[in-house]
């Protein structure tokens, strides 16, 4: 049971009350016509809500709503969008149902520590979260039966404020659930549903919230409730805490608690997909349930393994959680006997063969407890096999059972609506349903029919929109005047020129991503940026993890470059990088720069988003760009072998050479119509070569094609065994905290 959200919006006229249903389903976030419905009620209210329709509907004066309900032109648009929305939600003729019409439904439970869905729900930190969010959106569009589990971070992820000396200040802004597209899940008594995490002592309880992502329900776990002791209340407060014990407690709640919540909700599923190792304890709980029903541990492990997919996202050692044995003992001492194994056998599940004394390795456990494993690009698949071949001793590296499914991005979310309108005009007449077939490369060949002038006009419009946004933010920043001094307007981008070739670099500030690389030779860079006739400018954005002081020092170094007058205002740092800022950047810059230290880039998706909108990539040959680069759709470097101690200098020189000899000349090579036709030709090649190949639609279909048949076969076998051996048993019961669901209740 869920909140009756309409009871909270009685001020909305009945004629347009469907706006409430729309606001609480993130379908609006990837459908511009739906967003326009809110914007057209009142533009100022939409702007002040920061494009959050729930907040807008709560705060807007009722007079504006009444005007909309009496406006025939508005009502026509409202009726069309609501009809589309309801048809979408009730549709049975989806891609998945057409491809698998005779199969028993395979519902997948998707577990992830973060989800990047929209900035109104700050439960994400970066690329991993946006990948998870895009996965849910595409699963919804394709009709894939799925249910998802994540965390309700009460403090969201950090807001970033840069002090006058360039140091990142981490600002927490509590998430107001009543002003976000999220609802409480209620129990049979009408109270907020609370579930106890099983077999963990002292007890931990979670309240359950729900986000509707199109057709996909995402359930979020919240420990900030009265029945938890104060320390337990903070488990779900912050994403990726640096406290190792608190991190372990988070992963226990996410995996074991998440599985328990699905059981209480009666959410029947056949397979589990783990997005990284953080939620891997979900597999442990699946095993425990089978042991409780009478299975031997090894048999239960085999059954769970056969119906589990594990996706690894990083070759960075810090991205693989390892917990000290004393912490594992502290929290799992009551769990060992529930599995029917002893302590030694349990700990062996998380041993890394090459460092057996290091602790309980979550990635090692996830690989052992799942049968299907993948990296997130072809290059990353190779790296992951090299990293983990020790789990399969004697197996040749090429046959280590770790495959790859290259990441993709949700096209309707990341394609700017003006660019989409352009594609509609030129692809639509030949292929009216092109957006529903956007993973077909043939469809994108029609991009070549777009006149250069039209594509360039939209690009320059998006670029102007980016610069207007930067200047508006800088105006607000200037007015506020940071404590400690008045900021230099050049730092935040007030002096940037929309007519100048603009490079974007925006991502998490980790040292391996090498944000500093382009500053390797300062004099050469100054000559490139300050060229009188062919100038260049660079926009940086990104956050360092709160506990990553090295990343913060790197950010500070970049920030101080923006203040140097010899750069002439050609370098800027955009504060408080978020999903909203990312949208502006991947739509509006000319070149997307990416230069991590190989092979540390597992995939990377920001460059995919940029290419979808005609932004050209200048990237090192790592991650997705190894597959995406074809010699005509952008620029690549870094294929040559370089000694580690000289790698930065070599790669920086390659960037400078490309800028001086290819990128800058091509951009400024204009015909009499002031259009860089050679540049536009490369934009078209980038769009049509990368759009279909690096879409979430291709990605999700690939997961289904690659893993669906064996998962379905294993799930059917498991179901048959369960039916054959089913025995009646007494219902479980345990004392409840207020509002806690009984064991097994729905």
Ramachandran quadrant class, 72 (left: phi over 0; alpha: psi -120 to 50; beta: rest): alpha
> Residue 487 — pLDDT band, cuts 50, 70, 90?
low
Task: Please answer whether residues 182 and 212 qualify as being in contact, where contact means their C-beta atoms are separated by less than 8 angstroms.
Answer: no
**pLDDT at residue number 740:** 40
> Residue 336 — pLDDT band, cuts 50, 70, 90?
very high
Instruction: Give the Cα separation of 224 and 216 in Å (integer).
Output: 25
**pLDDT at residue number 737:** 37
Could you tell me the pTM of the whole model?
A: 0.94
Cα torsion 367, 369, 372, 373 to 10°: value is -20
Tally of helices (H runs) and strands (E runs) in the chain: 30, 20
What's the number of CA atoms in the CB half-sphere (13 Å) around residue 361? 19
Task: Pick the more confident residue, 82 or 319.
Answer: 82
What tokens appear for 213 in the block? 């992502």
Whole-number Cα distances in Å, 70 to 15, 63, 73, 204, 643 = 9, 11, 9, 51, 70
Instruction: Give the Cα separation of 402 and 138 in Å (integer).
Output: 24
Task: Please answer whether residues 248 and 725 qualify as being in contact, where contact means their C-beta atoms are separated by less than 8 angstroms.
Answer: no
Task: Please answer whether residues 37 and 77 qualify as being in contact, where contact means their C-beta atoms are separated by less than 8 angstroms.
Answer: yes
User: Each residue of 524-579: pLDDT tens digit?
Assistant: 999 999 999 999 999 999 999 888 899 999 999 999 999 999 887 899 999 999 88
What tokens appear for 354 in the block? 């090459």
Instruction: Give the Cα separation of 313 and 127 in Å (integer).
Output: 10
What tokens appear for 314 in the block? 């990083």
SS3 content of the chain, % helix, strand, coil (to 5): 50, 15, 40
Task: Please answer whether residues 156 and 173 qualify as being in contact, where contact means their C-beta atoms are separated by less than 8 angstroms.
Answer: yes
> Residue 729 — pLDDT band, cuts 50, 70, 90?
very low
Of 488, 507, 495, 491, nearest in space to 467 by CA: 495
Backbone Cα Rg of the chain: 26
Instruction: Give the Cα separation of 197 and 162 in Å (integer).
Output: 39
Asked if the peptide bond before residue 599 counts as cis, ω within 30 degrees of 0, the response is: yes
Instruction: Give the Cα separation of 75 and 96 in Å (integer).
Output: 33
User: Each residue of 667-725: pLDDT tens digit?
Assistant: 999 999 999 999 999 999 999 999 999 999 999 999 999 998 788 788 777 766 665 55
User: Each residue of 132-174: pLDDT tens digit?
Assistant: 999 999 999 999 999 999 999 988 778 899 998 999 998 888 8
What tokens appear for 556 in the block? 């500070």
What tokens appear for 743 in the block? 């064991």
Would the pLDDT of 481 be above 70? no
| 101-407+699-719 shares its CATH topology with 414-481+488-694 | yes
> Domains of the chain: which residue ranges?
2-90, 101-407+699-719, 414-481+488-694
Would the pLDDT of 366 be above 90? yes
**pLDDT at residue number 574:** 94
Residue whose pair of structure tokens reads 């990377």 in the numeric block = 604
Instruction: Give the Cα separation of 634 and 234 in Å (integer).
Output: 46
Q: Coil, strand, or helix at residue 422?
A: helix
User: Each residue of 372-382: pLDDT tens digit?
Assistant: 999 999 999 99
Q: What CATH number has the domain spanning 414-481+488-694?
A: 3.40.50.2000
**pLDDT at residue number 480:** 62
Quick one: which H or E segment has residue 108?
A: strand 108-112
Looking at domain 101-407+699-719, its CATH architecture is 3-Layer(aba) Sandwich (3.40)
| Helix extents (H) in 253-324 | 258-265, 281-292, 297-306
User: Each residue of 596-655: pLDDT tens digit?
Assistant: 999 999 999 999 999 999 999 999 999 999 999 999 999 999 986 655 677 999 999 999
> Residue 492 — pLDDT band, cuts 50, 70, 90?
low
- Per-residue H/E/C for 252-267: HHHHHHHHHHHHHHCC
Cα torsion 542, 543, 545, 546 to 10°: value is 170
- Give me the phi and psi of 307, to 5 degrees please: -120, 35
Residue whose pair of structure tokens reads 């700990």 in the numeric block = 347
**pLDDT at residue number 305:** 96
**pLDDT at residue number 736:** 36
**pLDDT at residue number 268:** 86
Instruction: Give the Cα separation of 652 and 162 in Å (integer).
Output: 27
């Amino acid at each position: 049971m869920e909140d009756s959200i309409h009871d909270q919006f009685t001020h909305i006229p009945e004629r347009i009350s469907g706006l409430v249903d729309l606001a609480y389903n993130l379908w609006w976030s990837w459908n511009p016509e739906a967003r326009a419905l809110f914007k057209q009620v009142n533009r100022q209210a939409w702007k002040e809500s920061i494009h959050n329709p729930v907040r807008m509907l709560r705060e807007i004066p009722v007079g504006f709503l009444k005007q909309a309900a009496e406006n025939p032109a508005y009502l026509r648009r409202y009726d069309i969008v609501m009809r589309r929305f309801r048809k979408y939600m009730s549709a049975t003729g989806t891609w998945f149902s057409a491809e698998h019409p005779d199969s028993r439904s395979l519902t997948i439970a998707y577990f992830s520590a973060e989800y990047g869905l929209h900035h109104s729900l700050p439960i994400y930190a970066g690329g991993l979260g946006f990948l998870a969010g895009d996965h849910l959106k595409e699963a919804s569009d394709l009709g894939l039966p799925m249910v998802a589990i994540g965390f309700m971070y009460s403090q969201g992820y950090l807001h970033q404020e840069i002090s006058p000396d360039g140091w990142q200040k981490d600002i927490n802004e509590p998430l107001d659930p009543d002003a976000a597209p999220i609802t409480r899940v209620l129990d049979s008594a009408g109270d907020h549903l609370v579930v106890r995490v099983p077999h963990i002592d002292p007890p931990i309880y979670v309240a359950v919230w729900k986000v509707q992502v199109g057709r996909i329900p995402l359930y979020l776990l919240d420990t900030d409730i009265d029945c938890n002791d104060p320390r337990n209340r903070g488990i779900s407060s912050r994403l990726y805490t640096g406290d190792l014990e608190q991190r372990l407690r988070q992963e226990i709640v996410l995996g074991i608690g998440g599985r328990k919540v699905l059981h209480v909700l009666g959410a029947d599923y056949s397979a589990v997909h783990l997005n990284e190792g953080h939620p891997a304890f979900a597999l442990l709980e699946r095993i425990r349930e089978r042991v409780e029903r009478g299975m031997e541990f090894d048999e239960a492990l085999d059954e769970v393994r056969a119906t589990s997919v594990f996706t690894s996202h990083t070759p960075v050692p810090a991205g693989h959680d390892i917990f000290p044995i004393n912490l594992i003992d502290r929290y799992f001492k009551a769990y060992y006997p529930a599995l029917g194994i002893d302590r030694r056998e349990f700990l062996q599940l998380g041993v890394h063969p090459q460092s057996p004394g290091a602790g309980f390795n979550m990635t090692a456990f996830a690989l052992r407890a799942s049968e299907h494993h993948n990296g997130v690009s072809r290059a990353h698949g190779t790296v992951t096999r090299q990293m983990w071949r020790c789990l399969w001793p004697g197996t040749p590296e090429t046959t280590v059972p770790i495959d790859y499914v290259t990441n993709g991005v949700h096209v309707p979310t990341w394609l700017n609506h003006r660019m989409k309108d352009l594609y509609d005009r030129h692809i639509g007449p030949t292929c009216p349903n092109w957006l529903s077939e956007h993973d077909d490369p043939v469809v994108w060949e029609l991009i070549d029919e777009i006149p250069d002038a039209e594509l360039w006009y939209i690009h320059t419009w998006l670029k102007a929109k980016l610069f207007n946004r930067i200047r508006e933010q800088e105006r607000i920043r200037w007015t506020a005047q940071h404590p400690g001094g008045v900021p230099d307007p050049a730092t935040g981008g007030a002096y940037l020129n929309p007519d100048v070739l603009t490079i974007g670099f925006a991502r998490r500030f980790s040292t391996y991503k090498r944000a500093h690389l382009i500053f390797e030779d300062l004099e050469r860079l100054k000559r490139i940026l300050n060229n009188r006739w062919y100038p260049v400018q660079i926009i940086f954005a990104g956050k360092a993890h709160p506990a990553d002081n090295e990343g913060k020092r790197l950010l500070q170094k970049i920030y101080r470059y923006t203040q140097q007058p010899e750069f002439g205002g050609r370098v800027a740092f955009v504060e408080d990088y978020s999903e909203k800022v990312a949208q502006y950047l991947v739509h509006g810059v000319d070149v997307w720069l990416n230069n991590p230290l190989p092979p540390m880039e597992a995939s990377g998706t920001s460059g995919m988003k940029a290419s979808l909108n005609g932004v050209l990539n200048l990237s090192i040959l790592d991650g997705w760009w190894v597959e995406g680069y074809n010699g005509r759709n952008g620029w690549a470097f870094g294929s040559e072998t370089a000694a580690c101690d000289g790698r930065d200098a070599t790669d920086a020189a390659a960037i400078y050479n490309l800028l001086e000899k290819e990128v800058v000349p091509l951009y400024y090579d204009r015909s009499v119509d002031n259009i860089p036709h050679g540049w536009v030709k490369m934009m078209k090649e980038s769009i049509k070569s990368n759009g279909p190949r690096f879409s979430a639609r291709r990605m999700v279909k690939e997961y289904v094609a690659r893993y669906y048949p064996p998962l379905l076969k294993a799930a059917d076998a498991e179901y048959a065994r369960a039916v054959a051996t089913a025995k009646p048993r007494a219902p479980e019961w345990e004392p409840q905290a207020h509002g806690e669901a009984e064991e097994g209740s729905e």
